[in-house]
């Protein structure tokens, strides 16, 4: 019987706080003994590096010349915020985030609806849809890179065929900003739409089928049912999925690194931070960029949770 009543007990801890029995105290101790190690490891592997990053970001510190390490306080930050390269990376990151999340939401929702209703290749469809999620992002990036490349690709040939030769089959997709960004986004969308649609599928599954049936009986069209019944009822699932994907897209690195390495102004915040740290061994500047990126991710999460009332822990009951 313990599980059936446990949630009710956890909701009212204040009432019996005064009369904590020995048993309850022992339970608390055991709880932290069991959960503590995981908690400590989790905090240690993230809190320590980020504190270190904040500290290092106040220095002009290059690994090749460690003796010239010099305290510059916010110097690195003022360099970042006056550098057009940073703003280009920020614009690219925001563009990728907004476009991919928007496309994935629509596409992911359509696929979720399909997976929810489809009868015939139900299992096959779900399995195939899951594959992009499970393969390595670098592999997906190479697959798309090689598809669009002028030398090894087939996309130019296909476009040439379907436009009856109007498309230049030697078109260089990675030669300029707009096409390169498009391919990066296509790859990102292909790789992560399955995750989005699975989250939305779970939201769809929670909707009471009778409600939709009732709307149908009352003569509601498909679009009316979609916007008046289905979508309002899965608002929570949509918000969680959008939040997860937004924060994930904002960190985009693998696709950009494999496809362009930031050439033709396709740099994103993550690749910029990587270049400063690893290629140029500018530890101070790299740390400052890391802190900026961290704060931005933090701000986005805060906006979602406070602004849109995404209840992440509350949904766990």
Site for another protein in 243-302 (CB under 8 A): 244, 247, 250-251, 253-254, 257-258, 269-270, 273-274, 276-278, 283, 286-287, 289-291, 293-294, 297, 301
CB of 176 to another protein, least distance (A): 21
130 counts as binding another protein under rule CB under 8 A? yes
Among 84, 165, 209, 219, binds another protein (CB under 8 A): 209
Residue from the set 68, 120, 178, 217 that interacts with another protein by CB under 8 A:
120
Least separation in angstroms between CB 220 and another protein? 15
Residue 191, both tokens: 């790789």
Of the candidate spans 49-57, 79-87, 97-105, 223-231, the one that interacts with another protein by CB under 8 A turns out to be 49-57
In DSSP notation, 199-264 reads: HHHHHHHTS-HHHHHHHHHTT--HHHIIIIIIHHHTHHHHHHHHHHHHHHHHT--HHHHHHTTTGG
Q: What is the dihedral of CA 60, 62, 63, 68, to 10 degrees?
A: -70
By CB under 8 A, the count of residues binding another protein is: 112
Residues 6 or more apart whose Cβ sits within 8 Å of residue 301: 243, 247
Handedness of CA 195, 196, 202, 204 (dihedral sign): negative
Q: How far is the CB of 226 from another protein (least distance, A)?
A: 15
Contact segment (CB under 8 A) with another protein among 74-82, 136-144, 176-184, 223-231 equals 136-144
* Among 2, 22, 64, 82, interactor with another protein by CB under 8 A: 2
Does the protein bind another protein through residue 119 (CB under 8 A)?
A: yes
Least distance CB 243 / another protein (angstroms): 9
Q: Is 159 in the site for another protein (CB under 8 A)?
A: no
Residue 106 within binding range of another protein, rule CB under 8 A: no
Single out the residue of 257, 258, 259 nearest to residue 273, CA to CA.
257
The minimum distance between CB 264 and another protein, in angstroms, equals 19
Write out the two tokens for 185. Answer: 């986004």
CB of 7 to another protein, least distance (A): 9
- DSSP-assigned beta bridge partners for residue 282: 62
Written as six digits, the tokens of 163 are 């436009």
Instruction: Show Cβ contacts of residue 67 under 8 Å, excluding neighbours closer than 6 positions.
Output: none
Instruction: Determine, following the binding rule CB under 8 A, whether residue 102 of this chain makes contact with another protein.
Output: no
Cβ at position 89, least distance to another protein in Å: 12
Instruction: Assign 51 to helix, strand or coil.
Output: helix
Phi/psi at 246 (nearest 5 deg)? Answer: -60, -50
Which residue among 63, 94, 99, 226 contacts another protein (CB under 8 A)? Answer: 63
Tell me how far apart the alpha carbons of residues 15 and 8 are, in angstroms, rounded to a whole number: 12
3-state helix, strand, coil in the chain (%, to 5): 75, 5, 25
Residue 52 binds another protein, judged by CB under 8 A: yes
Q: How far is the CB of 131 from another protein (least distance, A)?
A: 6
Q: Residue 114 Cβ, how far from another protein at the closest point, in Å?
A: 6
Q: Which is nearer to another protein, 6 or 74 (CB)?
A: 6
Is the dihedral angle over the CA atoms 163, 167, 173, 179 positive or is it negative? negative
38 binding another protein? (CB under 8 A): yes
Which of 19, 34, 166, 217 is in the footprint of another protein by CB under 8 A?
Answer: 34
Measured between alpha carbons, how far is 97 from 252 in angstroms, rounded to an integer?
8
């Amino acid at each position: 019987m313990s599980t059936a009543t446990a949630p009710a007990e956890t909701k009212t801890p204040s009432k019996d706080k005064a009369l904590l029995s020995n048993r309850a105290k022992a339970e608390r101790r055991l709880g932290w003994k069991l959960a503590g190690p995981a908690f400590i490891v989790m905090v240690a592997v993230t809190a320590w590096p980020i504190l270190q990053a904040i500290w290092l970001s106040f220095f002009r510190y290059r690994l090749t010349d460690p003796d010239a390490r010099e305290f510059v306080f916010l110097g690195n930050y003022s360099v970042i915020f006056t550098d057009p390269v940073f703003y280009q990376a920020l614009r690219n990151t925001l563009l990728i985030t907004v476009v991919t999340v928007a496309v994935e939401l629509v596409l992911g929702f359509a696929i979720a609806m399909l997976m929810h209703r489809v009868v015939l290749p139900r299992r096959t469809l779900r399995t195939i849809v899951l594959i992009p999620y499970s393969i390595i992002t670098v592999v997906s990036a190479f697959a798309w890179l090689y598809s669009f490349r002028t030398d090894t690709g087939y996309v130019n040939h296909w476009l040439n065929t379907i436009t009856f030769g109007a498309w230049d089959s030697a078109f260089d997709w990675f030669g300029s900003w707009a096409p390169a960004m498009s391919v990066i986004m296509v790859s990102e969308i292909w790789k992560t739409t399955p995750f989005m649609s699975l989250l939305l599928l779970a939201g769809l599954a929670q909707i009471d089928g009778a409600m939709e049936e009732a709307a149908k009986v009352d003569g509601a069209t498909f679009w009316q049912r979609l916007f008046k019944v289905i979508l309002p009822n899965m608002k929570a699932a949509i918000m969680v999925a959008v939040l997860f994907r937004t924060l994930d897209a904002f960190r985009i690195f693998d696709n950009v690194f494999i496809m362009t390495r930031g050439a033709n102004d396709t740099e994103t915040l993550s690749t910029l931070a990587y270049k400063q740290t690893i290629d140029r061994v500018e530890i101070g500047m790299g740390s400052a960029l890391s802190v900026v990126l961290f704060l931005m991710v933090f701000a986005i999460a805060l906006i979602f949770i406070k602004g849109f009332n995404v209840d992440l822990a509350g949904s766990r009951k």
